[in-house]
Amino acid sequence: MRSLVVTAPVAEAELAADVLFGAGVAAVEERPSETAGCVELWTHVGDEQVAIDRVIATLAAGWGHRVVDVDETVADTWRRHAAPIPVTDQLTIVPSWLDEVETAGARIVLDPGSAFGLGDHPTTQLTLRALLRHVEGASTPPRRLLDVGCGSGVLAIAAALAGVDDVQAIDIHAGAVEATVANAARNGAGGRIAASATPLTDVEGMFDVVLANVLAPVLVDLADDLRRVTAPGGLLVISGVLDGRFDHVVAALSPMSVRRVEVLDGWAAVELGRPG
């Protein structure tokens, strides 16, 4: 197995970890670096060089990187420490290897594989809550939903289990598409979720709800298409943005307008409406 090791200045360690999560990794471990003033971020993006190169392409110019052969990846270590994650009083995300643990209410059983999204990241939690609030507040569940950057499929599965009939889930990371297909089946939602690596530019039609938990620069790049695929009167939920640092993303999505902002641990989720 291969680990990707990124070396970044201590002051940029958090940013570097966010970039790695935004690129779809499941876990990151910080370790001391032999380079003064720097830390190493160890992560795993699968063993294929093409997947590793795709993540390397997202790194800032000043950060170093190397690929190391390992017996156990960071994701494996992290698996041993994983625990069920409450989303609401009525919904818990349960790692598939802990399926026997008892929980109250409904559950989503998840194995993220090499993809991002066991459900514990603040941006995932914020997006899930926005989704559930919207579905519960509607007289009938939205009919069509698009999950842009589906990772493990956690948001798409929550939507399908909440009653959305037609869920499309897309991701540029092949491991994420695989994980979404497997997790959808694991939760009995395979018939409602179509997962693929289709680029957003090629997605046709419009959706009542669009979810996009990807980093701010990606949201800006995708803004025209996010607006295009959100149906008139529909809802777009963006996350992956830092609290107080998303005005440029909202500007790129204009004339969509902000309906609500929720914040958790320094991250924000912004709900935007497209005029009917």
Under the binding rule (CB under 6 A), the answer on residue 154 touching ligand SAM is yes
* CB-nearer residue toward ligand SAM: 38 or 238: 238
Q: Does 110 participate in binding ligand SAM (rule CB under 6 A)? A: no
Q: Of 4 and 176, which CB lies nearer to ligand SAM in the complex structure?
A: 176
- Residue 85 burial class via C-beta count within 10 angstroms: exposed 0-12, middle 13-18, buried 19 and up: buried
> Among 40, 171, 208, 271, which residue interacts with ligand SAM (rule: CB under 6 A)?
171
Helix 154-161 to helix 174-186 angle (10° resolution) is 30
Q: What's the min distance (Å) between Cβ of 22 and ligand SAM?
A: 5
Give residues with Cβ within 8 angstroms of 250, minimum separation 6. 256, 258, 270, 272
H-helix segments, 23-93 = 49-56, 74-81
Considering the rule CB under 6 A, would residue 4 count as an interface residue with ligand SAM?
no
Q: Is 155 in the site for ligand SAM (CB under 6 A)?
A: yes
Residue 168 interacting with ligand SAM (CB under 6 A)? no
242 bridge partner residues: 267
Using CB under 6 A, which of 207, 240, 249, 262 touches ligand SAM? 240
Among positions 45, 200, 226, 272, the unique one binding ligand SAM when judged by CB under 6 A: 200
- 149 makes contact with ligand SAM (CB under 6 A): yes
Token duo for residue 261? 């902002």
Of residues 36 through 95, those in contact with ligand SAM by CB under 6 A are none
DSSP 82-111: ---EEEETTEEEEEGGGTTS--SSEEEEE-
Site for ligand SAM (CB under 6 A): which residue of 5, 159, 218, 272?
218
Q: Exactly one of 46, 95, 113, 117 binds ligand SAM (CB under 6 A); which one? A: 117
Q: Is 9 strand, coil or helix?
A: strand
Q: How far is the CB of 190 from ligand SAM (least distance, A)?
A: 18
Q: Distance between CA 237 and CA 260 in Å, rounded?
A: 9
- In the list 70, 106, 172, 194, the residue contacting ligand SAM (rule: CB under 6 A) is 172
Joined together, the tokens standing for residue 263 give 């914040």
DSSP conformation letters of 101-146: S--SSEEEEE--TTSS-SS-SHHHHHHHHHHHHHHHHSSS--SEEE
Residues 173-192 vs ligand SAM: string with x where CB under 6 A? x--x----------------
Q: Is the dihedral of CA 161, 162, 166, 171 positive or negative?
A: negative
> Cβ closer to ligand SAM: 24 or 95?
24
Q: Does residue number 33 form part of the binding site for ligand SAM (CB under 6 A)?
A: no
Q: Contact positions toward ligand SAM, by CB under 6 A?
A: 21-22, 24, 115-117, 121, 124, 127, 148-151, 154-155, 170-173, 176, 200, 213-214, 218, 222, 240
